[in-house]
Chain A
Amino acid sequence: MDLFFLAISATFVNNILLAQYLGNCPFLGVSKKLETALGMAMAVVFVTIMAAIFTWSVFSYVLKPYGLEFLQTLSFILIIASLVQLVEIILKKQSRVLYNGLGVYLPLITTNCAVMGVALLVAKKEYNFIEMLVFSSTSAVGYGLALILFAGIRERLVISAVPKSLQGTSIALITAGIMALAFIGFQGMA
């Protein structure tokens, strides 16, 4: 039951994007079209879960027993960077269309703070393996959900008349604010 609450909380209540503000750069960058948002969401889900598994293992079996917690930042970012490289190679081979669609944003997953943020949160809260798995996957799904929903709204924004000064990033941020407001409504659940 605890795991269920953890899942709900990570997906909706403490949504990594709208309540913890992680991963905003790609959020604004790739959310102009639903299709790219979908690809990005999938890539983020995959990388986040993999990164959480690897960083968790390194943290609890290498860094912690030997008192090397101060190397956390350095080791985590290296793990994530190499993972992203791997995903890029696989996508290039397996799905040319998706690869072309994501373009420059795939390398940017390295600097997507959502991935790193989940890894750091897992280490900070000292989750065990199962909790880590549930937390990272639901967080990533929550991120994907917010990204895809937002892309849907943004596609409609293009055809509506927005005042000139508010165009672009500005209206996108305000829309994200309203979405975050909607997600606050989930707080009663957990």
Chain B
Amino acid sequence: MANKYLDTLTGGLWKRIPPFRLVLGLCPALAVTMSAENGLGMGLATAFVLTLSNGAISTLRQVIPSKVRIASYIVIIATLVSIVEILMKAFFFPLSQQLGIYIPLIVVNCIVLGRAEGFAAKNPPLLSMIDGFSVGTGYALSLLLIGSIREIFGAGTWFGMMVFGETFEPMAFLVSAPGAFVTIGVMLALQNLFSRWRGEKFIQG
């Protein structure tokens, strides 16, 4: 019993870590990871929504008729996202300005709906919340990692602090749009390489 909870808790951190294992939620992963700070902020906002939406949907899973379930999920998720939007405007105004339309776009982040449909609809509330928390944390960590790589090599800073000193010539390519695609592509390849080296099953196609 305890094992099941532990399994779910660690699952999101490696076995199902988005956006690498679960190739979902790429748009924010590409768009807001210009800097480590933005990546982490976006990741935490998504994790917050994901945990609560999984909990709410799982609690209501017996009540929601299966024909209109997607619409119901979307309404629940949209409500939570509105809350996050308002909270961020109140307490983290500069960050919310930087993330811009990507905060309301958490509604259409496939991870949130994907976990609702794939996990919360079939499991009890507590377990679903743990799953949401774990996948959300995994996502936040991934975004932090992508953001760090792009910021350190693309701008020479990390969370706004100088890393390499004055003589470093930043690779502006990494902070620009094409750099985002290439960074994530290369990271996916490395992850595939690592999985194959460990002899794991080749999951994503």
Contacts and interface: CB of A to CB of B under 8 A. Distances in A.
A37 to B, nearest CB: 17
Interface string B176-203: 1111111011101110110010000000
Contact of A113 (B105, B196, B205): B105
Q: Is the interface of B mostly helix, strand, loop or mixed?
A: helix
A103 interface: no
B204 interface: yes
A184 B178 contact: yes
B37 to A, nearest CB: 18
Interface in A146-176: 163-174, 176
Interface residues on A, range: 35 or more
Contacts, number: 131
Nearest to A171: B185
Interface in B88-140: 100-101, 104-105, 107-110, 113
B115 to A, nearest CB: 13
Nearest to B188: A170
A77 interface: yes
Interface of B: 23-27, 30-31, 70-71, 74-75, 78-79, 81-82, 85-86, 100-101, 104-105, 107-110, 113, 176-182, 184-186, 188-190, 192-193, 196, 204-205
